[in-house]
Structure 1
């Protein structure tokens, strides 16, 4: 219903409009203060509604985290085992067979950090693409800002990353890296990555709501992104002979940006990242965070319809 009410619209007393009434339906709606059911609120109003449901977002994320591994014997240990096993495979194939570890002083810490940080974004993207399409029963049963769902799923991935960071820090220390105040830079780096991931998750949630096949395409897209993000090799080593524009594009790649910031904080032997890497990180967080939020909000009234 757009700026009008149906003929059987009820008044506040529960009675229908008088039969034969010549009053325009739009005027009836205004007089009885009727609004369109499910209409998209303004951006500011939507944001206020979202903030009012912040406790629901956190509670939903906590419930999803507990439910994810509830049937596995090792439970949440898989949050750490999965990226560790991926790192072991990458070390065997790329570090040992392809020899990508050349020129990297502490390759184990370098590789594990890259895998853990990239997995955060990868998992947020995959979860975000299913946030609407897999929760249709909840969406149709309750009224709430739909952005709660992709944000909750991203918080789930953040919780898993923080759980994994304990193991990551232990590995880094075990490989001989010193504990220093520079490690505190992990906090702003992960905050910026979280904002970026939320925005990306919102974008994929809207796309996934109407294009179910995106779930089949994403693994290939993410694998390509993984290969160009310097997870298991040094971008500097492989772009020395590349055209300048190629080096600049790879350097600005958000997948590589957040990895490099965390590596710079944790690994003392890692070459210091230039100052503009932080500018890239902030820029990507603002661009994707705000842009993704507005892109998702614009289709708010269409989620769960049809």
Structure 2
């Protein structure tokens, strides 16, 4: 069939579809409609997150307990490597809780991004079979990691409360986790779109997040370390712009009262700004490719 004949046939089909009120199932809806459809599928997001958690740990004897054991074991390894062998625990009270809090916060973002980068590519059969807002898939991955974060923080608070007793500052964990969740939603949507069209992104992310891990003040107090190195004040200001450093800092302020002495400057303001930029920018970036997901 010639190009002219193909164009005529396409125009004829388009006219017929318009006459009968038909539209492309993969067409990108307006942003307001998309948000409304996404809200209407909130139960699916929660149910999908639960089903995925069950599927991931169904074959393990300890089941979903591994969700908490994994970051705890990582924290134990880093405690020996950095806290004991390299001496980063010196001068930091309750270093175990300091380290575990940082690991939990970092792992929440790391796993949201890493798992979310496969949200589209790993569900192609579902995407090509059913019509639904594609953002439900990466959002379900974030909900899954948020459930783990609740359990992790419960364990951390129990550990801290056993040694120091409960504190009203713990209530600050609510806005801290809320802001981090907004940031994670945006970052996960970005990497979900990238992973849908660049399969290598899932292979690169572990190296990116590992570098991020060492630069985020998880194993040491950034202000105290730079003060010991006599670094200029602007260096602390630059390092405090790291979103993970800010979220770790506000979480530590809530859990560890003694951390207030070595807090990052403007951590709350930075956390709010990053949350807003990430969730708005990430959502629009993902939505703009809505009609391309699932194409062969």
Give the structure-1-normalised TM-score: 0.89
Distance of 1:212 and 1:190 partners within structure 2? 30
Which residues in structure 2 correspond to 1:161-200 (within 5 Å)?
161-174=149-162, 176-200=163-187
Partner of 1:115: 103
Uncovered stretches (5+) of structure 2, i.e. residues with no partner: 1-5
Say whether the 8 Å CA contact 1:177–1:267 is kept in structure 2.
Answer: no
Write the distance in 2 (CA, Å) between the matches of 1:29 and 1:64.
Answer: 38
- Residue 27 of structure 1: CA displacement? 4.7
1:18 match: none
| Aligned-residue offset at 1:149 | 0.3
Q: Is the radius of gyration larger for structure 1 or structure 2? A: 1
| Residue 283 of structure 2 corresponds to residue 293 of structure 1 | yes
Q: Within 1, Cα distance between the matches of 2:13 and 2:49?
A: 43
Distance 1:89 1:26 in 2: 62
| Aligned equivalent of 1:223, options 190, 210, 225 | 210
How many residues matched? 288
Which residue of the partner structure matches residue 249 of structure 2? 260
Match of 1:12 in 2: none
Q: Assess, with a 3 A threshold, how the Cα gap between structure 1 residues 274 and 87 changes in structure 2: closer, same or farther.
A: closer
Q: CA deviation at 1:178?
A: 2.9
Task: Decide whether the 8 Å contact of 1:257 with 1:280 is kept in 2.
Answer: yes
CA deviation after TM superposition for structure 1 residue 103, in Å: 1.7
- Once residues 82 and 128 of structure 2 are traced to their aligned partners in structure 1, the CA distance between those partners, rounded to angstroms, is 47
- Find the aligned partners of 2:41 and 2:50 in 1 and give their Cα distance: 14
Unaligned runs of 5+ in 1: 10-22
Alignment check: 8 A CA contact 1:101 1:107 kept: yes
Are 1:151 and 2:123 an aligned pair? Answer: no
CA distance in 2, matches of 1:26, 1:88: 62
CA–CA distance in structure 2, aligned partners of residues 131 and 246 of structure 1? 37
SS in 2 for 1:239: helix
RMSD: 1.9
Aligned to 2:3: none
The one of 89, 110, 130 equivalent to 2:77 is 89
Say if 2:223 and 2:264, in contact at 8 Å, map to a contact too. no
Tell me, yes or no, if structure 1 residue 276 matches structure 2 residue 266.
yes
Q: What is the deviation of 1:275?
A: 7.2
Contact 2:240–2:264 (8 Å) recurs in 1 = no
Using the TM superposition, give the Cα deviation of residue 180 of structure 1 relative to its aligned residue in structure 2, in angstroms. Answer: 1.2
1-side partners of 2:104 and 2:264: how far apart? 22
- Name the structure where helix makes up a greater proportion of residues: 2
CA contact under 8 A between 2:112 and 2:142: conserved in structure 1? Answer: yes
Alpha-carbon distance in 1 for matches of 2:151, 2:8: 56
- Per-residue deviation, 1:248: 1.4
Distance 1:25 1:209 in 2: 30
Partner residue, 1:246: 235
TM-score, length-normalised on structure 2? 0.92
Map Cα deviations across residues 22-45 of structure 1 (whole Å, 9 max, x no partner): x96655443322323311011111
